Amino acid sequence: MNWLTAKRWSPYQVGLLIGVLCWVAFYISDRPLAASAAFAKSAAMIEKAAAPEHYAENKYFHSQEKYAPVPDWQWMLVVGIFAGALFSGLISRDIKPEIVPEVWRSGIGRSAALRLLWAFIGGVALMFGARMAGGCASGHGISGGLQLSVGSWTFLGVSFLTGTVTACLVYRTRRSKTPAQQ
């Protein structure tokens, strides 16, 4: 039981199990693991409820079946991600409110408003780019990567590159101070 309640597992063990989970998803559901289209679907649900006329005219949400504002396999997958992370966090006592994480605090400062503003902007950019590219770190990164798709590996390479450049420019901590964890 110690294994199940541990806060962290070896990254290799986690990677191996995610790989096996991909077999299961392909085999029993004929689906790759992916997340970002579910966000488009959720946005469609919200827009349909909040501004039905505007939604009715929206070309993107009507371009493919997978954006239709009703739950599907992938949308349930994302609900499951929340539930699974919650379960894992609960049994390993690893749930605590966090507004300004360690690395942000030491690199940028303790302002909660600033952190929340940039989290929002980051979220907008992350999903805008993912929808343009047709996938995110799950759909392109893991599922596309394991299928040896040239486009998915291109996505992995370019997003890793711009992410690395951005992080190295934005988060400048003093080298001597390693982030204290636990």
Residues 53 and 144: their CA atoms lie apart, in Å, by 36
CA torsion through residues 139, 128, 121, 55, sign: negative
Among 11, 52, 53, 93, binds other proteins (CB under 8 A): 11
Q: How many binding residues for other proteins (CB under 8 A)?
A: 128
Token pair in block for residue 175: 């080298």
The DSSP code for 67 is G
* Other residues' Cβ atoms within 10 Å of the Cβ of residue 70: 8
Q: Of 102 and 109, which CB lies nearer to other proteins in the complex structure?
A: 102
Binding to other proteins (CB under 8 A) within 32-51 occurs at 32-33, 35-36, 39-40, 42-44, 46-47
Q: Of 68 and 127, which CB lies nearer to other proteins in the complex structure?
A: 127
Residues 66 and 169: their CA atoms lie apart, in Å, by 37
Site mask for other proteins (CB under 8 A), range 13-32, x = bound: -xxxxxxxxxxxxxxxxxxx
Token pair in block for residue 145: 């990567």
166 binds other proteins (CB under 8 A): yes
Question: What is the separation of C-alpha 24 from the centre of its chain, rounded to a whole number of angstroms?
Answer: 20
Binding to other proteins (CB under 8 A) within 75-134 occurs at 75-89, 92, 94-104, 115-116, 118-134
Binding to other proteins (CB under 8 A) within 57-76 occurs at 58-61, 63, 71-76
Q: Of 109 and 164, which CB lies nearer to other proteins in the complex structure?
A: 164
